[in-house]
Structure 1
Amino acid sequence: MARLIHAIVTGLIGAALLHLVIVFALPQFTGGDAYSRVLALGPAGRFHLLDRQGPAEPLVPDDPFVQASVCAYDLTASPRIVTASGDPAFWSFAVFDKRANEIFSLSDRSIETGRLDAILATPAQAARLRKADPGLMGRVILVETTGSEGYAVLRSLAPHASLEPEALGFLKSARCDPFAQR
């Protein structure tokens, strides 16, 4: 019986110490998530070019041919419309929730025009948009997000130095504006 009590007490003390270590170490890990790093790049609601050497480095793959920009969004007040135009060799668009889970992605190979026109909306906002303008879905891509906060990543490819101006031009044309129903 004494061995059992000794084992239980030892287990409880070990669990308490482990709990304390986790609680005291937690502040060092918070603020290092992808969403926090995106918010640190600048104001939400606009695209920011990512510097591969800067603090956003872990947000994009280490590929010398890929340029990227990111926009944090908040859909609390209204949906956001994401647009970009240009003619890079290749581009892709992805939407992530606040916890860095990818909820949507597409590339220029999925769109006939090559131009990006997407609306980010909560399910309730998307339902209102569909009801107000049934033809809207034929003109834009509607991305429904379950949460109201997250970020969108736009990447363009420049496999040769001569193609970098088109890739950067596409990223610099990107907008992440509030959507106003017309």
Structure 2
Amino acid sequence: MSIVGRFAFATLCALVLASIAHVGAILLLPFVSQQDALSRLQPVRVDGEAVLLSGPETRGWSTHHDPATALSACAYDLSEAPLRVTFGTGAHFQSASFHSRGSGVYFTLTDRAVEGTQMDVLIMTPEQRFEDEARRAASADAEDRAPTVRAQDPLAGVIRVTAPEPQGFVAFRVLAPLPGLAETATERALSARCTPFPLNDTDTAS
């Protein structure tokens, strides 16, 4: 076989292998989509509580295990109500990242970017964000009409975030720079709370 013939044969084999790999990847998509982080979190979800994915002393099902970091997460569904996420800060680095299934990470927050002793975030759909803004505008109008009567806003100081999709999860990371801080980091990662927060509760509270 000539050099040109060998080259043509090798090229044909490469194209066939690439086609097989491409078709195989397409066939595997339904299976892989069922093994993403959100799908694995939903069956073990406990309302209000974070689930430990991995820790300095515990290797969970997280594929990127960091022996100096505790990682926890909670899945959420905003179909019924917004979600209020609280995460107490400490002496060592902490972060929270907000994920949706289709868009990936859409918001991140570190303890260095907040004031006070905890992160406090309200996640909403675009429709819920519109409802919240309308409620706040109505409250401001009422104060203008009666300035001596000021209603306390239970969400004062809370960071509001609009999620691109109703379903997603929040991942919490706590650094354990020394082996002796491993247990503390794990406990802090599990202390994060993700609680449904109906907006009509704010009307009742005010």
TM-score range, shorter chain: 0.7 to 0.9
Q: Which amino acid aligns with 1:157?
A: L
Q: Report the residue type matching 1:163 in the other structure.
A: L
Unaligned runs of 5+ in 1: 1-13
Q: Percent identity?
A: 30
Tell me the equivalent position of 1:95. 98
* Distance of 1:112 and 1:122 partners within structure 2: 25
What count of residue pairs does the alignment treat as equivalent? Answer: 164
Match of 1:42 in 2: 45
The answer to whether 1:145 aligns with 2:163 is: yes
Residue 174 of structure 1 deviates from its aligned partner by 1.1
The reply to whether residue 170 of structure 1 matches residue 173 of structure 2 is no
SS state of the match for residue 63, structure 1? coil
Q: Deviations over 1:27-79 (max 9, x none)?
A: 44331222212224434653101135332x12xx3321110110110000000
Closer, same or farther: CA 149–44 of 1 in aligned 2, 3 Å:
farther
Deviates more, 1:114-123 or 1:83-92: 83-92
Match of 1:85 in 2: 88
Amino acid at match of 1:146: P
- SS state at 2:49 partner: coil
Q: TM-score, normalised by structure 1?
A: 0.76
CA distance in 1, matches of 2:160, 2:95: 16
Question: What's the counterpart of residue 121 of structure 2?
Answer: 118
Please tell me the root mean square deviation across aligned C-alpha atoms, in Å. Answer: 2.7
| TM-score, normalised with respect to structure 2 | 0.68
Counterpart residue number, 1:6: none
Structure 1 residues 161 and 127: CA distance shift in structure 2, 3 A: same
CA contact (8 A) 1:80 1:178 kept: yes
SS of structure 1 residue aligned to 2:95: strand
Question: Matched residue of 2:171: which SS?
Answer: strand
- After superposition, the C-alpha distances for 1:66-102 in whole angstroms (9 at most, x for unaligned) are 1011011000000010112241401001100023610
Write the distance in 2 (CA, Å) between the matches of 1:34 and 1:145: 17
Structure whose alpha-carbon radius of gyration is higher? 2
Distance 2:81 2:46 in 1: 17
Contact 1:93 1:152 in 2 (8 A): yes
Q: Does the CA-based 8 Å contact 1:86-1:166 persist in structure 2?
A: no
Are 1:45 and 1:72, in contact at CA under 8 Å, matched by a contact in 2? no
Question: Which of 134-143 and 157-166 deviates more?
Answer: 134-143
Structure 2: runs of 5+ lacking an equivalent: 1-15, 138-152
CA–CA distance in 2 between the matches of 1:139 and 1:160?
Answer: 33
Residue of structure 2 aligned with 1:160, choices 163, 178, 182: 178
CA shift for structure 1 position 152 = 0.5
Counterpart position of 1:53: 59
